[in-house]
């Protein structure tokens, strides 16, 4: 079976590029599928560069479409809207099946509020794909009632390693908390710092922050606080880093939040999560794997941290839940699902 994969590869490193690259690398190691990849990452930004880039992608699509048994398009909402109709047209002209994988948790919100030409174009092209794969269950439910074809849940995933459990470490303090991600205001960095200040008055803890500082966040944010900024880490080192901690803290209220990859990586590391009731997060964080708080709620965040400081029993139960949850988002499982789907679509 020949599968053409269209999507953005790193650089830059981000949720969409990391996930697409993970699938590409998994498929390259298989004997039952032959792949070609069209990388739609934009090396430069600008009107002329965008036109050249779009023309290049179109030429590569037309060059490879006859070879493919199935066309697959892996992209964010912006890519679905702008290039999805083109992939659909190519599939119709050359009589090929095609699959769309939409990253992020905002596609149903966009469709609900959209009007005019773009929405009609989406409905007549993307919604007519042989399969539409979406990250959030709420998005799947929304589009299943609006499409005659398959609309399926295809979540973010991560490789679990040898056994999907955390490595042990000696605890010199009550709890070791960690944040990993883009260090910017909308990820709740200010609230995390304030909550840690409250907790550190009465408890001995560690709170470490990893990731690039963006949108005005600087070293000065951490001066005089008990939160330690530890710099950025490579994507391949995230899970191993997380195993050195007890709890991931992610108090995000970012505008677009589907299934944050770092939560899945925490599950792979076998540690629970304190995060916000925001976006797609409540679909993957339950009372068995973590604690949900309201966005921007410093008091609620501090109380959740305190609960895990006070209760070894609660921490142990949530660790077990995190390890069990990791199996649901195992990349090996979802790569096999993708291959099976491509085979099913190609013979219909």
Q: What is the pLDDT of residues 196-211, one digit of tens each?
A: 999 999 988 999 999 9
pLDDT at site 167: 44
Same fold, 2-157+330-347 and 175-328: yes
Average pLDDT, the chain: 93
- Can you give the pLDDT at residue 174? 61
Helix axes 298-310, 189-200, angle to 10 degrees: 50
| Residue 170 scores a pLDDT above 60 | no
First and final C-alpha spacing in the chain:
14
User: What is the number of other CB atoms lying within 10 angstroms of the CB of residue 171?
Assistant: 11
* Residue bearing the bigger pLDDT, 48 or 138: 138
* Tens of pLDDT, residues 34-50: 999 999 998 777 788 88
Strand partners, 180: 210
Architecture of domain 2-157+330-347: 3-Layer(aba) Sandwich (3.40)
- Per-domain residue ranges of the chain: 2-157+330-347, 175-328
The SS3 of residue 5 is: strand
Binning pLDDT at 50, 70 and 90, where does residue 320 land?
very high
Mean pLDDT, residues 75-96 taken together: 94
Architecture of domain 175-328: 3-Layer(aba) Sandwich (3.40)
Pairing of strands 131-134, 97-102: parallel
Q: What pLDDT does 161 receive? A: 63
The Cα-based distances of 162 to 65, 95, 272, 330 in angstroms read 38, 42, 19, 12
Would you say 272 and 319 are in contact if contact means Cβ atoms under 8 Å apart?
A: yes
Query: pLDDT category, 252, cuts 50, 70, 90?
Result: very high
Handedness of CA 308, 313, 314, 315 (dihedral sign): positive
For the cut 50, the answer to whether the pLDDT of residue 131 exceeds it is: yes
> What ranges make up the beta strands (E) of 57-109?
70-75, 97-102
Distance CA 27, CA 10 (A): 17
Pairing state between β 205-210 and 175-180? parallel
What does the pLDDT read at residue 12?
83
Burial-class residue 268 by CB neighbours within 10 Å (0-12, 13-18, 19+). Answer: buried
The confidence score (pLDDT) of residue 71 equals 98
| 132 Cβ contact partners less than 8 Å away, ≥ 6 residues apart | 99, 100, 102, 126, 143, 147, 149, 150, 151, 152
- At 327-347, the pLDDT tens digits run 999 999 999 999 999 999 998
Rounded to whole angstroms, the Cα distance separating 216 from 220 reads 10
């Amino acid at each position: 079976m020949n599968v053409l994969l269209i999507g953005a590869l790193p650089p830059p490193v981000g949720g969409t590029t990391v996930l697409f690259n993970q699938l590409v690398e998994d498929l390259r190691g298989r004997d039952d599928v032959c792949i070609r990849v069209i990388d739609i990452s934009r090396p430069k930004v600008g009107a002329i560069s965008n036109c050249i880039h779009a023309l290049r992608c179109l030429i590569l699509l037309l060059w490879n479409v006859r070879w493919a048994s199935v066309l697959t398009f892996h992209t964010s909402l912006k890519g679905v809207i702008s290039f999805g109709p083109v992939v659909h047209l190519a599939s119709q002209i050359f009589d090929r099946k095609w699959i769309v994988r939409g990253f992020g948790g905002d596609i149903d919100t966009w469709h609900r509020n959209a009007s005019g030409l773009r929405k009609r174009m989406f409905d007549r092209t993307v919604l007519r794909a042989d399969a539409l794969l979406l990250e959030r269950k709420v998005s799947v439910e929304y589009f299943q009632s609006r499409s005659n074809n398959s609309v399926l849940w295809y979540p973010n995933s991560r490789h679990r390693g040898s056994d999907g459990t955390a490595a042990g470490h000696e605890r010199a303090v009550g709890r070791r908390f960690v944040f990993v991600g883009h260090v910017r205001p909308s990820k709740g960095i200010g609230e995390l710092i304030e909550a840690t200040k409250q907790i550190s008055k009465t408890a001995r803890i560690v709170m470490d922050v990893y990731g690039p500082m963006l949108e005005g966040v600087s070293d000065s944010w951490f001066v005089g606080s008990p939160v330690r900024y530890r710099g950025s880490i490579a994507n391949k080192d995230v899970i191993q880093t997380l195993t050195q901690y007890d709890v991931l803290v992610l108090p995000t209220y970012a505008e677009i939040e589907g299934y944050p990859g770092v939560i899945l990586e925490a599950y792979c590391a076998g540690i629970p999560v304190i995060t916000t009731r925001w976006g797609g997060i409540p679909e993957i964080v339950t009372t068995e794997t973590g604690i949900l708080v309201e966005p921007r709620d410093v008091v609620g965040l501090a109380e959740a941290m305190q609960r895990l400081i006070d209760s070894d029993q609660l921490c142990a139960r949530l660790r077990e839940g995190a390890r069990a949850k990791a199996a649901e988002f195992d990349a090996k499982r979802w790569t096999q699902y993708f291959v099976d789907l491509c085979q099913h679509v190609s013979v219909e």
